[in-house]
Amino acid sequence: MDVQALIKEQVTSNPVVLYMKGTAQSPQCGFSANVVQTLNACGVTGLFTVDVLADPEIRQGIKDYSDWPTVPQLYVHGKFIGGSDIVSEMYNNGELQRLLHKDFQS
């Protein structure tokens, strides 16, 4: 499976996907840590994460897939939401909670 097909499969097979540096338990950059903390604050469980530091092809492939130059990248139901700043802005105005509330809050 090529990288683009793998990414498409990941974002469409999992409700919430975060491409990040490190893991949810051990983020390797502040921006990735911010998104994980924000999703935790929204009550997201079952977050599927992909550590882009572990695979250079995925690291570049996700940037090509979304046409977005940076990581982290958040996807909800296959839709690209954005990076750390966008996630924070959406959280601060309540939009992220509304987006996630229906299916993902415990």
Amino acid at site 78: G
The string of pLDDT tens digits covering residues 43-79 is: 998 899 999 999 999 999 999 999 999 999 999 999 9
Q: Is this prediction's pTM over 0.85? A: yes
Say which CATH architecture domain 3-104 belongs to.
Answer: 3-Layer(aba) Sandwich (3.40)
- Is the pLDDT at 106 greater than 80? The verdict is no
What's the CA gap between 94 and 66, in Å, rounded? Answer: 24
73-76/79-82 β-pairing: antiparallel
Say what the pLDDT of residue 105 is.
44
* Domain residue limits, the chain: 3-104
